[in-house]
Amino acid sequence: GTPVEHVLQVQPGERRDVWVNADVPGVTGEFAAVVTSTGAPVVVERSVYWTTGALRFGGGTNVGGRAVR
């Protein structure tokens, strides 16, 4: 598919959540990536949750980001 860009500014000490399928118009499929531009260390994680039967967030997974230089 065609890449979709979503710019988000986060201030020092601030935490932001992005629900990709709800917050980023034009996203389809299952692939997502994060690119950061900063002069300070940041933490990025990817959490995925799903509904199991009637239980919302009945399952999920979480992966921490890794610095690539």
pLDDT for the residue 69: 63
Q: What angle do CA 30, 66, 23 make, to 5 degrees?
A: 40
CA 42, CA 51: separation in Å to the nearest integer? 30
The secondary structure of 3-50 as a DSSP string is ---------TT------HHHHSTT--SS--------SS----EEEEEE
Q: What is the pLDDT of residues 22-67, one digit of tens each?
A: 888 888 766 777 788 888 888 888 888 888 888 888 899 888 877 6
Interval 6-25: pLDDT, tens: 888 888 888 888 888 788 88
| 68 pLDDT higher than 70 | no
DSSP letter, residue 55: E
